[in-house]
Amino acid sequence: MLLNIIRTELAEEKGNTTNSRRTAAFSFKEIINGDIFTRQQLMKNLMFIIYVVFLTIMYIYNKYQTEKVLSDIIMLKKDLKELRTYSVSNATELMSLSKESEVIRLVEENGLKIKPLKKPPAKIVVKDY
């Protein structure tokens, strides 16, 4: 429908030869009034203008997506750093709790009647027949 309106306006411009005031340059008044959109050279380049607008929109979309991905990366790096710290602190706590002296202390605190071995455990060897 829009193309039909544009075609009729172009046909009217071609038929209207009395308007000799047309120049190659666009004036400020023509831009404000919207007369710039009825020019024949602009109508010839309509597909190119649409293409440029499309590329501009894609460029803006790409920029916003890139910024979003970068902010996600920064947030994930921060989370990773916190989780590493948590992991290291848990590993050191586990190591300190698994020491023999710490185990003996915890057994005595809880009142368990377990005593440490005085001599090392014996090795059982089974002979093959």
pLDDT tens, residue by residue, 62-84:
999 999 999 999 999 999 999 99
Number of H helices, E strands in the chain: 5, 0
Residue 84 lies in a domain: yes
pLDDT at 18 over 60: no
The per-residue pLDDT of the chain, averaged, comes to 82
The domain of 34 spans 25-109
The number of domains in the chain is 1
Q: pLDDT band for 15, please (50, 70, 90 cuts).
A: low
Residue 19 lies in a domain: no
- Given this model, what pLDDT does residue 115 score? 83
Residue 10 lies in a domain: no
Residue 119 lies in a domain: no
Tell me the mean pLDDT in the region 11-40.
62
Query: Token pair of 127, please?
Result: 């002979």
pTM for this entry? 0.48
Residue 88 lies in a domain: yes
Residue 66 lies in a domain: yes
pLDDT at 10 over 60: yes
Residue 36 lies in a domain: yes
Are 52 and 46 in contact, with CB atoms under 8 Å apart? no
Residue 65 lies in a domain: yes
Are 9 and 38 in contact, with CB atoms under 8 Å apart? yes
